[in-house]
Structure 1
Amino acid sequence: MSETTNTVNYFEIGTPDPEAARAFYGEVFGWEFGPAGPAGYGTVNQGAGGLWDTSGIGAGAWAVFYVEVTDIQASVDAALSHGAQTVLPLVDNGVILFTHLADPAGNRFGIWQRKSAD
């Protein structure tokens, strides 16, 4: 098991106003932002996190932390069996698998798994 498994090691901020978010977090914390790609996603502090422009998809504003796991389906099943709800179904972006869930109190979080190099 990797040292990063079952630890929080990534975050994302979703916002319908990415310029305002860049200004706020840049001025308050000195964060630097990479350019947004075609899907409206850009990195924060060279990959420590990400910023999503949600204006085109109606996803609102949110902040989410991610926990890296070795078996995403087992982790999702465990979370759901303990009262979590699916917010964003499992996504395979070619490099990782990830999903967003909400805990029983409604707090959003993400789970992700590295894909093995074939």
Structure 2
Amino acid sequence: MLAASERGSLVLSSPPWPAFPARPAAFPSVRFPRRARNARLVAGAGPTAANYVFAFVFPLSLLVVTIAVSARIGNQLDQKYLEELAINQAIEEADLDEDPEDLMEETPVATRTRNRPKRQGIGVC
């Protein structure tokens, strides 16, 4: 804004705050505080030892625990597989020890008989 002084020269001055009229807010209940004009941003402190522990040691410990648990589960599965393999092999040896004639001489299963009369239809489909 230009202002004329008594001496006849022009002096530049800053416009009053705010320079433009405020628009109606989209959300009138939300208001942001205005910052002071001379506010300065100060850099924060660097990372602490606790930050380094959380960033590096904690994930590494989770990785170690995951590997240990997966190895333990793998060993349990291997042990179950070997036990099942030994059981199957014992069953096969037991089947070979028996006489094949004994296996063939099974008693036949009795068939069920029904006492219903046969249908006598007029037409056969």
The structure carrying a bigger helix percent of its residues is 2
Larger Rg: 2
Same fold (TM over 0.5): no
| Structure ranking higher on relative contact order (CA contacts 8 Å, 6+ apart) | 1
- TM-score for the superposition, normalised by structure 2: 0.16
- TM-score for the superposition, normalised by structure 1: 0.16
